[in-house]
Amino acid sequence: MIVLDDVHKFYGSQQILRGCSATISLGEVVVVCGPSGSGKSTLIKCINGLVPFERGSITVDGVSVSSPETDLPALRARIGMVFQSFELYPHMTALQNVSLAQVHVLKRSQKEADERSVKILTRVGLGGKLGNRPAELSGGQQQRVSIARALAMNPQAMLFDEPTSALDPEMINEVLEVMQELAVEGMTMIVVTHEMGFAQRVANRVLFMDRGEIVEDTPKDQFFTAPSSERAKQFLNQVLTH
């Protein structure tokens, strides 16, 4: 349902993505990993058009992300995104954070939106925190609100950019559990993460990136037991012995 074809991205003269291609089918969970600066964040931000790219194409459900005719906001509304640093609206309560786009994008009534928000926040274990602002929540709780904000839009796919790397260790699992549930329910997911345990449990495939290239695109088991590239082997040694 998401097809990347030979995507090139430059910042000035610096080339960030060098011909990335991959296909993510409906219901698939793909983990993206690789060293810092390899272009993982850039790649997934290209998928919902937050970052424009110069060459190649990306289609979501057959709709081109870079075509000027595409209604980009409408396309983004169908793809949920979760950021490393939560990016919640600090002046709004958890409930308001989750309801906002439902009202202004999906044109649900406030009441309808709030009902759905309560349901989803409860589902991610935050039924008791509806009226709290982000500053009154722990990192793990904030990230779960952020996931709820994306889920409230009934997305067809979810993008995660290192959703747990800003979290204290004891909060990582509560977020990973929510993500795992989503995966089990069949959500199409692209997850940038260094949580190799999560990848082993949940992923169908692993994309390994280095210096702007997708060096490896392999089924999960093969990635952990017999990675084909030297760079992936080195990387695995580093994160697994960590």
Ligand X SMILES: Nc1ncnc2c1ncn2[C@@H]1O[C@H](COP(=O)(O)OP(=O)(O)OP(=O)(O)O)[C@@H](O)[C@H]1O
Residues that bind other proteins (CB under 8 A): 45, 48, 50, 73-74, 76-81, 83, 87-91, 100-101, 104-106, 133, 135, 149-150, 153
Could you say which residues in the range 40-59 bind ligand X, by CB under 6 A?
A: 40-42
Closest CA to 178 of 134, 133, 140, 135: 140
Nearer to other proteins, 65 or 199 (CB): 65
CA pair distance 169, 44, nearest whole angstrom: 25
Tokens representing 62? 């057959």
- Helices 110-123/139-151 angle, 10° precision: 130
Q: Using CB under 5 A, which of 30, 33, 41, 47 touches Mg ion?
A: 41
Pairing of strands 2-11, 55-60: antiparallel
Residue 134 binds ligand X, judged by CB under 6 A: no
Q: Which does 211 bind (CB under 5 to 8 A by kind): other proteins, ligand X, Mg ion, none?
A: none
Nearer to other proteins, 148 or 178 (CB): 148
CA pair distance 40, 121, nearest whole angstrom: 28
Q: Which does 48 bind (CB under 5 to 8 A by kind): Mg ion, other proteins, ligand X, none?
A: other proteins
Could you say which residues in the range 21-40 bind ligand X, by CB under 6 A?
A: 36-40
SS (H, E, C) 4-24: EEEEEEEECCEEEEEEEEEEE
Q: Which does 39 bind (CB under 5 to 8 A by kind): Mg ion, ligand X, other proteins, none?
A: ligand X
Residue 101 CB, nearest approach to other proteins (Å) = 4
CA pair distance 112, 108, nearest whole angstrom: 6
Tokens representing 232? 């992936």
Residues near Mg ion (CB under 5 A) are: 41
Residues near ligand X (CB under 6 A) are: 11, 16, 36-42
